[in-house]
Structure 1
Amino acid sequence: MGAVPKNKITRVERGKRRAGNTPTLKKDIKTARIPLSKKGFMAALFKAIETKN
Structure 2
Amino acid sequence: MTMSDGHPAEDYLKPKLEALIEGAVSAGFSRDVTVAVLIDLLDDSVALDVETR
The TM-score normalised by the length of structure 1 is 0.24
The structure that has the greater radius of gyration is 1
Greater relative contact order, per chain length (Cα 8 Å cut-off, separation 6+): 2
User: TM-score if structure 2 supplies the norm length?
Assistant: 0.24
The structure richer in helix per residue is 2
